Structure 1
């Protein structure tokens, strides 16, 4: 991939994809770490909540949708739809168009 030969639109599209991929990567790494910690605690006869002050560790849902122009805005598909998602759907985009 030669970045010097890409036009501005192609570079911006690539930037959106990289930003979303990095966020998704971080979420996957956190989930994997939590799973490993839970397994170690379970093997030793404990639960992870025994080490977190009695509170069960809560992980954020991985994002499933990304803003078409601002990759920093994502939505997991849970809870209320963000306004940017509603606006995109109203403008003719589909959920598949916004999926990561």
Structure 2
């Protein structure tokens, strides 16, 4: 039966072997990927295909315009708060329905300017 020290040495050797194999795999994948990219670029050049052609073929409109001819839709941006409840710290941007805390405060006689940030 192997001793503890021998098992530790075997584990270290196996860990090193694993790290070496993982490095080899990463290098091989990188080389293969580079070769494939070069092949794709060459084929695109041979056939006069651009990246825009690829995106059109995939059913996506070009980035410059959507189907209506307008600029592409972007993700909605977060609006800075304009009003803050001093007691709870809740905020409202001034867009959409008034929050309940603000509506209740306005009904009790406070003014909207009292909550301005």
Asked if these proteins are the same fold (TM beyond 0.5), I'd say no
Q: Which has the larger radius of gyration?
A: 2
Structure with the bigger RCO (C-alpha within 8 Å, sep 6+) is: 1
- TM-score normalised to the size of structure 1? 0.43
- TM-score normalised to the size of structure 2? 0.37
